[in-house]
Amino acid sequence: MDHFQRFREISANPGRYAEEWKKKTGGKVVGHLCSYTPVELIVAAGALPFRILSSGAQIAQADGYLQAYCCGLVRGVLEDALAGRLAFLDGTVFPHTCDTIQRLSDIWRMNIGGFHADVILPVKLDTESAAEYMLAVLQRFKADLEAGLGVTLSEAALGEAIRICNRGRKGLERLYALRRKRPDAIAGSDLHAVFRAALVMDRAELADALEKLADMLESRAPQAAPPVKRLVLSGGLCSMPDIYQVVESSGGRVVWDDFCTGARYFEGLVDENGAPLAAIAQRYRQRVVCPAKHAGIHNRGQYLVDKVKSYQADGVIFLLLKFCDPHAFDYPYMKAMLDKENIPSMLFEIEDQISSEGQLRTRCEAFLEML
């Protein structure tokens, strides 16, 4: 039996999953950009949090709204929305992250419609006033959701949503831990499919499915595996192409990543004993930051060096989405910090998913050979 089949189906067509979920439950689907969306509140509202990623379809209509120097993720999701491929969404949430997402929110509000919430989070996360503001932002988001979806979010429902989301995070962390220990225990592409599905699935269903999957994979006897090069991926790949196949066929195994559609999504649990909103705010302030946020000037570089060391990685591949400013600004210093520790790294810029694959394969093979 293929334990990944269900995840693969959802990953291949997340929209269909959302439509079926709607039909089955009669609930609402709330789309969102970025890992700073407090999904617990959406879950507590009885709605399905749906992380919007680009389908990768040809850009046609979005050209009338966004210039060509806008990143592929944002152009792609706007194209999907304009083409009606996201018609199942009852609303969309835009957390404040980068300049581009900020403008996408405006363009979306004026041209797509539906329930619209801006979650205007602080950009600096390391001060007391920012902490206070962050909590106030969550309180406002709660009120916006209640008004927009016509529900009331009780403390009990929030507590339950936190527990469910934490279970999902733990499940993902177990898969990452297993892969770290035994890189061949789970294929990168399978984990990729699990992750893509995890970003859109009903969180209770997801938590159950992940627990089952992790139990099964952990119980399998380890097989003798040829030595591999252990890699950490870093960069801004919000659009999530499946680069794992490329890495693996070149003889590499990914043991960690610093993606918002990866480790950053599940790292750190929300305290289940605290006041719900304060606990959610706390997690966002303590979690490793996205480069559009500020928590000190060496935060991300140090995180990367630490992960490479503690997970005994042989090298780092930086994957940068073209036109992603926050990541592009961080790359030189993060590379310099790796250089200082004699950790080899490689940079690959991704313009769009399809044309990049061949090039990436060549570069990846050369890099792994060098390691």
Partner 1 sequence: MPTYEKIIDSDKERRKIKADRRMREIMTAYYMEAKTPKEQRGKKIAWITSGGPVEPLHVMDVIPIYPENYGAMIGASKMGVDLCEKAEEMGYARDLCSYARADIASATVNGGPIGGLPEPDMLICCNNICGTVLKWYEVQARYFNVPLFILDTPITHTTFNDEMRRYVTRQSAEYIRFLEKACGRRFDYDRMAEVGALSIRAQELWQAILDTTMSKPSPMTCFDAFFHLAMIVTLRGTQTCVDYYEMLLAEMKERVAQGIGMLPVEKYRLVWDNLPIWYRLRWLSNKFMERSACLVADTYTSGWVSQMPSVSSTDFLGFMGESYARIFLNSGTDLMAENIIRMVKKYDADGVVFHSNRSCKPYSFGQYDIQKILRKKLGIPTLMIEADMVDERSFSESQIETRIDAFIEMMKK
Q: Which residues contact 244 (CB under 8 A, 6 or more apart)?
A: 187, 188, 189, 191, 192, 254
Binding residues among 4-43 for partner 1 as defined by CB under 8 A: none
Sign, CA torsion 161/167/171/176: positive
Sign, CA torsion 281/285/288/290: positive
Using alpha carbons, select from 201, 172, 162, 195 the residue that is nearest to residue 49.
Answer: 201
Reading phi first (left if > 0) and then psi (alpha if -120 to 50, else beta), residue 18 is in alpha
Part in contact with partner 1 (CB under 8 A); list of ranges 23-31, 97-105, 230-238, 281-289: 97-105
Can you tell me which of 172, 317, 320, 364 binds partner 1, judged by CB under 8 A?
Answer: 320
| Residue 291 touches partner 1, criterion: CB under 8 A | yes
Q: d(Cα 49, Cα 95) in Å, to the nearest integer? A: 13
| Residue 174 touches partner 1, criterion: CB under 8 A | no
Using alpha carbons, select from 312, 162, 326, 147 the residue that is nearest to residue 235.
Answer: 326
Can you tell me which of 328, 357, 361, 371 binds partner 1, judged by CB under 8 A?
Answer: 328
Minimum distance, C-beta of residue 304 to partner 1, in the bound complex (Å): 15
Q: With respect to partner 1, which residue has the nearer C-beta, 134 or 214? A: 134
Cβ 133 vs Cβ 268: under 8 Å: no
Part in contact with partner 1 (CB under 8 A); list of ranges 114-122, 195-203, 252-260, 307-315: 114-122
For residue 252, the surrounding DSSP H or E stretch is strand 252-258
Cβ 80 vs Cβ 57: under 8 Å: yes
| Residue 297 touches partner 1, criterion: CB under 8 A | yes
Can you tell me which of 130, 172, 233, 360 binds partner 1, judged by CB under 8 A?
Answer: 130
Minimum distance, C-beta of residue 77 to partner 1, in the bound complex (Å): 14
Q: d(Cα 26, Cα 15) in Å, to the nearest integer? A: 16
Part in contact with partner 1 (CB under 8 A); list of ranges 46-54, 106-114, 166-174, 231-239: 106-114
Q: With respect to partner 1, which residue has the nearer C-beta, 271 or 325? A: 325
Minimum distance, C-beta of residue 133 to partner 1, in the bound complex (Å): 4
Q: d(Cα 366, Cα 364) in Å, to the nearest integer? A: 5
Max CA pair span of the chain: 58
| Residue 331 touches partner 1, criterion: CB under 8 A | yes
Residue type, 179: R
Can you tell me which of 56, 268, 326, 344 binds partner 1, judged by CB under 8 A?
Answer: 326
Q: Which two tokens stand for residue 222?
A: 């380890």
Binding residues among 193-232 for partner 1 as defined by CB under 8 A: none
Encoded one letter per residue, x for contact with partner 1 by CB under 8 A and - for no contact, window 38-77 reads --------------------------xxxx-xx-------
Can you tell me which of 173, 218, 314, 325 binds partner 1, judged by CB under 8 A?
Answer: 325
User: What are the strands of the beta sheet with 229-236, ordered from one edge?
Assistant: 252-258, 229-236, 315-321, 345-350
# binding residues, partner 1 (CB under 8 A)? 51
Residue numbers of the site for partner 1 (CB under 8 A)? 64-67, 69-70, 96, 98-100, 102-107, 109-111, 118, 120, 122-124, 127, 129-130, 132-133, 136-137, 140, 291-292, 294, 297-298, 320, 322-323, 325-326, 328-333, 335, 347, 349
